[in-house]
């Protein structure tokens, strides 16, 4: 039998031949771009679980087999070998950087790490307990005010784009550290150009004017790994948001600020905070794993097993597998003995043998163990999702660029209207 090259959609006595689009791993898409023009009908796919919004050459996921690749390279290959910046380059520019490219990009990152002094004053306007994700999104948007040369996407040359990408990657780390320092009422620590990306972040977070934070290379390596594992994940909620905003030709700062906002929710990046809240609730409430799992299965109970389940993975999330492996090492390094890790392990073990989780193919996702690692590294909980956003920045930049280079159409979905049919306006005095 020959491989089909089209699908046929039949609506009443109308039928439409739709070409099939094959991905490089033979994923099949049905091109329905002529559907409405030819038949008047649209597709309805709440949550877009069956909708390919674009073609993309950046990241490949096979959720059934727990596979994740950046530009074709399996995620496991980066473990203990790559640094976050070369992975960022890979995602954004499509190939691993050669020595010259890496050196030039590192130089750009170093020379663009500082925030404009006027931006520093903006932090003072935020209350001390402002959620760092709100600060992060607002300050990334603010970058647009200080870099007007990057506001017209069509006028940015390839070289200028490299500088723009470096500026954003470098400054988000400074913004995140300053947001933390502000929340603690501490003075800002300027970036140190002698330090590498992750080390510089730890320095800005934790060094005191009278006490330089000593950077343990293993802690730096742990942070580097966590950021790499978060660097891209194809068309997730925040990346789709960046693409949607970017499709109107909004600048990169505005698009990525929107990405931060989308990431914030507990069903997406905010799950790393929700996992810790859940583990603490179990610990402090003296609940055992069986009781917690029973509650997670009970639809009348709002308790959910955060850090479990995924729209795409119907197998173990490969990022969670790597993080789980590194938890013990990081805790030992930081001389931390975290009872929440034991609870996480017991929960995982119980869930993975429970028919509710087996039938629904619910496995731990990246957020299940990342919070335990962040906690061990001394990152406060309200900064966990900010850490995710620093990690995801290369992916957002790569998708913004890909979409812009393809000169795609503005994203503008349709809807099935379910409101009232045409009705008249009743003047105020005649309303009962
Ligand atoms: N605990 C208990 N039940 C769950 C869970 C969970 N964590 N996740 C899914 N289910 C159930 C859900 O109730 C539904 O059951 P039923 O078929 O009986 O109605 C079924 O599994 C399918 O779930 P869904 O909510 O329809 O799946 P989705 O693809 O719309 O949502 C998800 C995916 C990640 C939002 C969801 O699994 C969830 O809420 N997980 C907890 C939050 C979380 O960990 N989010 C981080 C995701 S990974 C990082 C990232 O990319 O953001």
Secondary-structure breakdown of the chain: helix, strand, coil percentages, each rounded to the nearest 5: 55, 5, 40
Contacts of 274 (CB under 8 A, 6+ apart): 266, 304, 306, 307, 367
Distance 296 CA to ligand 1 centre (A): 11
pLDDT value of position 338:
83
pTM: 0.95
Alpha helices per DSSP H over 64-193: 84-93, 99-111, 117-124, 132-146, 158-183
- Closest Cα to atom 8 of ligand 1: 309
Question: Of these residues, 230, 310, 326, 404, which one is catalytic?
Answer: 310
- Closest Cα to atom 29 of ligand 1: 311
Q: Are 261 and 137 in contact (CB under 8 A)?
A: yes
Contacts of 226 (CB under 8 A, 6+ apart): 323, 370, 373, 374, 387, 391
Distance 298 CA to ligand 1 centre (A): 14
> Per DSSP, what are the bridge partners of residue 364?
308
Distance 205 CA to ligand 1 centre (A): 33
Q: Which atom belonging to ligand 1 lies closest to the Cα atom of 275?
A: 44
pLDDT value of position 334:
84
Distance 365 CA to ligand 1 centre (A): 10
Residues at CB less than 6 angstroms from ligand 1 = 47, 233, 236, 267-269, 271, 296, 304-311, 360, 362, 365-367
Q: Are 111 and 167 in contact (CB under 8 A)?
A: no
pLDDT value of position 4:
81
Tens place of pLDDT for every residue, the chain, 432 residues? 566 889 999 999 999 999 999 999 999 999 999 999 999 999 999 999 999 999 999 999 999 999 999 999 999 999 999 999 999 999 999 999 999 999 999 999 999 999 999 999 999 999 999 999 999 999 999 999 999 999 999 999 999 999 999 999 999 999 999 999 999 999 999 999 999 999 999 999 999 888 888 889 999 999 999 999 999 999 999 999 999 999 999 999 999 999 999 999 999 999 999 999 999 999 998 888 999 999 999 999 998 899 999 999 999 999 999 999 998 888 888 877 788 888 999 999 999 999 999 999 999 999 999 998 999 899 999 999 999 999 999 999 999 999 999 988 999 999 999 999 999 999 999 998
How far apart CA 307 and CA 238 sit, in angstroms, is 17
pLDDT value of position 210:
82
- Closest Cα to atom 35 of ligand 1: 267
How far apart CA 298 and CA 157 sit, in angstroms, is 55
- Closest Cα to atom 9 of ligand 1: 309
pLDDT value of position 164:
97
Residue 18: how many other CB atoms lie within 10 Å: 17
pLDDT value of position 1:
54
Q: Which atom belonging to ligand 1 lies closest to the Cα atom of 304?
A: 1
354 is catalytic: no
Give SS3 for 56. coil
- Closest Cα to atom 11 of ligand 1: 360
How far apart CA 193 and CA 180 sit, in angstroms, is 20
Which residue among 261, 271, 309 is best mutated to probe the pocket of ligand 1, counting the most ligand atoms within 8 A of its Cβ? Answer: 309
| Residue whose token pair is 């490949």 | 60
pLDDT value of position 2:
62
pLDDT value of position 128:
93
367 is catalytic: yes
Dihedral sign from CA coordinates of 334, 340, 345, 346: positive
DSSP category for residue 77: G
Question: Of these residues, 232, 317, 338, 367, which one is catalytic?
Answer: 367
In 3D space, the residue among 131, 358, 87, 134 whose CA is nearest the CA of residue 233 turns out to be 87
């Amino acid at each position: 039998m020959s491989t089909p090259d089209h699908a046929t959609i039949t609506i009443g006595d109308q039928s439409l031949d739709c070409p099939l689009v094959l991905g490089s791993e033979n994923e099949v898409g049905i091109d329905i771009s002529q559907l409405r023009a030819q038949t008047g009908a649209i597709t309805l796919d709440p949550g877009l679980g069956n909708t390919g919004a674009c073609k993309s050459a950046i990241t490949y996921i096979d959720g059934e087999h727990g596979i994740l690749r950046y530009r074709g390279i399996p995620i496991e290959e980066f473990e203990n070998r790559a640094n976050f910046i070369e992975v960022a380059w890979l995602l954004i520019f499509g190939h691993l950087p050669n020595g010259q490219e890496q050196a030039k990009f590192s130089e750009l990152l170093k020379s663009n790490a500082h925030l404009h002094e006027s931006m520093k004053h903006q932090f003072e306007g935020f209350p001390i307990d402002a959620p760092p994700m709100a600060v992060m999104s607002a300050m990334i948007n603010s970058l647009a005010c200080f870099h007007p040369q990057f506001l017209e996407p069509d006028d940015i040359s390839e070289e200028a784009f490299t500088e723009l990408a470096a500026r954003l990657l470098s400054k988000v780390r400074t913004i995140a550290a300053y947001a933390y320092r502000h929340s603690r009422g501490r003075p800002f620590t300027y970036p140190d150009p002698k330090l590498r990306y992750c080390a510089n972040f730890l320095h800005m977070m934790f060094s005191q004017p009278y006490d330089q934070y000593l950077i343990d290379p293993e802690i730096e390596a742990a942070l580097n790994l966590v950021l790499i594992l978060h660097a891209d994940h194809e068309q997730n909620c925040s990346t789709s948001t960046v693409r949607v905003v970017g499709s109107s030709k909004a600048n990169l700062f505005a698009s990525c600020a929107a990405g931060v906002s989308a990431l914030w929710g507990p069903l997406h990046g905010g799950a790393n905070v929700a996992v810790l809240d859940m583990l603490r609730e179990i610990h402090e409430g003296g609940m055992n794993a069986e009781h917690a799992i029973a509650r997670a299965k009970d639809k009348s109970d709002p308790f959910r097993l955060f850090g479990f389940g995924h729209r795409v993975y119907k197998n173990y999330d490969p990022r969670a597998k790597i993080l789980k492996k590194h938890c013990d090492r990081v805790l030992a390094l930081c001389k931390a003995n975290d009872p929440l890790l034991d609870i996480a392990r017991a929960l995982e073990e119980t869930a993975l043998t429970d028919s509710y989780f087996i039938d629904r193919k619910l496995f731990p996702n990246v957020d299940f163990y990342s919070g335990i690692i962040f906690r061990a590294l001394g990152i406060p909980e309200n900064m966990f999702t900010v850490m995710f956003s620093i990690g995801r920045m290369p992916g957002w930049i790569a998708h913004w660029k890909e979409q812009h280079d393809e000169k795609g159409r503005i994203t503008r979905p349709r809807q099935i209207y379910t409101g009232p049919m045409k009705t008249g306006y009743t003047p105020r005095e005649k309303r009962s």
